[in-house]
Amino acid sequence: MAKSAGNGDRHEEPTADKALGARSAPEDTPDTTSEPSATGSAQGDPAPHFAIERIFIRDLSFESPKAPEVFSLRGRPPEIKLDVHTRARLVERIEGQAQNTDRFEVVLTLTLKAVTDNDGDLMIVEVQQAGIFHIRGMDAPTRRRALAVVCPATLFPYAREAIDSVVIKGGFPPAAFNPVNFEAIYARALAEEQGSGVRSPS
């Protein structure tokens, strides 16, 4: 299949209570805990904390509306279109002696389509890759970045693997699509907020 012509993206900001953040973690090898960031209090507060509780698939669907004729089509390879959507919600607040720990669910939704001008949608696959993350002891802007950038980037390799697996089982070659730059998506969302005068949750 042809490489992606570009990514559509949407990000839905968390509406949870305002408290925490986390630092960036490696995309493909997420650790269950992270080192403290530089945002901890200078007055000896407990160190910031970010941890992965679990990663799981919330929903997975596959459609091949032109099968089996699609396997006999000739001509230009289909265009691969990828739409990206993330959302986060507070699941639970765990009270601690020094600080509370927030359990967030973050869901990364990838919708991939293989499309041709003459035949329309040849294949549609959508995965909702989710994770439960623990966040504690960080300021609100850093927490917001963790939910918008670090968590989706952690989930992305799992979502891509799920898509490739179901696409191959559907009789198609693995879908070639570019990595998603969640940092750029987040920066663009912040710029749009500043331009419109909308205040982000803090």
Task: Give pLDDT tens digits for 27-86.
Answer: 343 444 444 344 444 455 678 899 999 999 999 999 999 999 999 888 788 899 999 999
Within 64-181, residue ranges assigned H as helices are 140-145, 151-169
**What gap in Å lies between CA 91 and CA 59, rounded to an integer?**
18
> In angstroms, what CA-CA distances link 43 with 39, 40, 46, 47, 81?
12, 9, 9, 11, 49
Q: What is the largest CA-CA distance in the chain?
A: 68
Q: Is residue 60 within a helix (H) or strand (E), and if so which, with residue range?
A: strand 49-63
Domain 4-35+45-176 falls under CATH 3.10.420.10: yes
Model pTM? Answer: 0.75
